[in-house]
């Protein structure tokens, strides 16, 4: 475990996947001062100054605490939008692959923004509300996604469609994740959440404040994402932290948790050149959408799906020796280069090195023995099923 701790902390020191601000002043969330009070160490991510670790526990401890208890992640840097109007489903279904018309009220779905070449422009969670679609997008793609939504909204409006995209700027977003999340949130909700299914969302009063609460997250654990009026987010977060089961956690733990859960990080494991077929994300394309198409890049994507095309596949690897980081080359047993690592960490839960990679078709079968080149050393690796750690999502 000491090796895991040193390696995770080394990822933070060297920047890991965290994105610089490009010289622009970093933005701060409404919880910045609360993070400082809890001894947060900050780093740049997508133009924001975000907490990486806290003085009371490092990335390893935060990771394990989330798996055993519950942690709060500040995700207020993510883009929240609401799409309204009678033509909102037709509009958004042109931009993403999901079946939004058939999504029940309160239902959420993971979907993909796509481009004309069939690549993935971003992944997003969309929730069907009574009179709108609530969309949460990645912080690193926030400006791009909002411009994309506005561009096509204008096109649809020019054609007479009733649709409008509204950025939600008066609400912050936190994620409460872990086995103790439900019990902790119930104390503030004053009601049982046992009958709230995974991947659903609804407006609930949390400490008397109306908040949009979604049962979802990015850790593989049960949990909730709370969209809270920014004026109330510090108070609600502080009240959640009064529970001894709940601690703050930063981006260091979030990255290792999501990788153990087999979840993609946009810009690392998927990008504008990756197709849903290559990324093993075909399941996000609704059955009706596969038959009807109609989304950007549908011709390319559906042709790949029908022919099981594409030259590569996303896989999970267990890597012996040192951890394999992004861009490490993946080799066949005979030494031929067949792919590349996109994400890799020492797994705190498993005590093994785990990684995602894209490998040439034919080398993606579970159990395939491969090799990975790590700092000029060649190490053994095996293709395994993801998630690496079984999901603990709430079931009714």
Q: In sequence order, which residues have a C-beta less than 8 Å from that of residue 152 and are 6 or more positions away?
A: 91, 94, 95
Q: What is the mean pLDDT of the chain?
A: 95
More confident residue, 112 or 15: 112
pLDDT digits (tens, 9 = 90+) for 358-387: 999 999 999 999 999 999 899 999 999 999
H, E, C per residue of the chain: CHHHHHHHHHHHHCCCCCCCCCCCCCECCCCHHHHHHCCCEEEEECCEEEEEEECCECHHHHHHHHHHCEEEEECCCCEEEEEECCCHHHHHHHHECCCCCCCCCCEEEEEEEECCCCCEEEEEEEEECCCEEEEEECHHHHHHHHHHHHHHHHHHHHCCCCCEEEECCCEEEEEEECCCHHHHHHHHHCCCCCCCCCCEEEEEEECCEEEEEECCCCCCECEEEEEEEHHHHHHHHHHHHCCCCEEECCHHHHHHHHHHCCCCCECCCECCCCCCCCCCCHHHCCHHHHHHCCCCCHHHHHHHHHHCCCCEEEEEEEECCCCCCCCCEEECCCCCEEEEEEEEEEECCCCEEEEEEEEECCCCCCCCEEEEEECCEEEEEEEECCCCCCCECCCC
Q: What is the pLDDT of residue 23?
A: 62
Task: Report pTM.
Answer: 0.94
Q: What is the pLDDT of residue 8?
A: 53
Q: What is the pLDDT of residue 25?
A: 85
* Cα–Cα distance list, 291 to 92, 284, 286 (Å): 17, 14, 9
- pLDDT at residue 193 greater than cutoff 90: yes
- pLDDT at residue 3 greater than cutoff 70: no
9-13, 40-44, 73-77: which has the minimum mean pLDDT? 9-13
Characterise 335 by phi-psi region: left (phi > 0), alpha (psi -120 to 50), beta (else).
left
- pLDDT at residue 357 greater than cutoff 90: yes
pLDDT digits (tens, 9 = 90+) for 229-246: 999 999 999 999 999 999
Q: What is the pLDDT of residue 21?
A: 45
Q: What is the pLDDT of residue 20?
A: 47
Q: What is the pLDDT of residue 24?
A: 73
């Amino acid at each position: 475990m000491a090796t895991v701790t040193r390696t995770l902390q080394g990822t933070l020191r060297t920047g890991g996947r965290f994105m610089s601000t490009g010289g622009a002043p970093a933005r701060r969330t409404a919880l910045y001062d609360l993070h400082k009070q809890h001894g947060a160490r900050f780093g740049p991510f997508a133009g924001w100054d975000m907490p990486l670790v806290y003085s009371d526990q490092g990335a390893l401890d935060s990771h394990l605490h989330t798996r055993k208890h519950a942690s709060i992640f500040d995700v207020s840097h993510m883009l929240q939008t609401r799409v309204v109007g009678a033509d909102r489903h037709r509009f958004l279904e042109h931009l993403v692959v999901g079946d939004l018309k058939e999504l029940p009220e309160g239902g959420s779905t993971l979907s993909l923004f796509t481009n004309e070449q069939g690549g993935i422009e971003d992944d997003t969670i969309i929730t069907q509300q009574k009179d709108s679609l609530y969309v949460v997008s990645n912080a690193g793609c926030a400006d791009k996604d909002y411009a994309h939504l506005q561009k096509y909204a204008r096109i649809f409006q020019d054609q007479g469609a009733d649709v409008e995209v509204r950025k939600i700027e008066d609400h912050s977003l936190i994620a409460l994740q872990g086995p103790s999340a439900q019990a902790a949130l119930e104390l503030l909700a004053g009601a049982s959440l046992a009958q709230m299914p995974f991947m659903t969302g609804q407006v609930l009063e949390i400490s008397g404040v109306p908040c949009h609460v979604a049962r979802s997250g990015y850790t593989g654990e049960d949990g909730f994402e709370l969209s809270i009026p920014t004026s109330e987010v510090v108070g609600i977060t502080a009240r959640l932290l009064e529970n001894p089961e709940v601690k703050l956690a930063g981006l260091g733990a979030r990255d290792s948790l999501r990788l153990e859960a087999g979840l993609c990080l946009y810009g690392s494991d998927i990008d504008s050149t990756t197709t849903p077929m290559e990324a093993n994300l075909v399941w996000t394309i609704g059955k009706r959408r596969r038959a009807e198409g109609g989304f950007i890049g549908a011709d390319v994507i559906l042709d790949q799906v029908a022919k099981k095309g594409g030259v590569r596949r996303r896989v999970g690897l267990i890597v012996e020796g040192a951890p394999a980081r992004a861009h490490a080359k993946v080799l066949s047993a005979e030494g031929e280069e067949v792919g590349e690592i996109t994400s890799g960490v020492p797994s705190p839960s498993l005590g093994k090195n785990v990684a995602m990679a894209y490998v040439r078709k034919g080398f993606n079968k579970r159990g395939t023995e491969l090799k990975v080149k790590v700092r000029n050393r060649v190490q053994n690796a095996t293709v395994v099923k993801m998630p690496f750690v079984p999901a603990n999502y709430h079931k009714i």
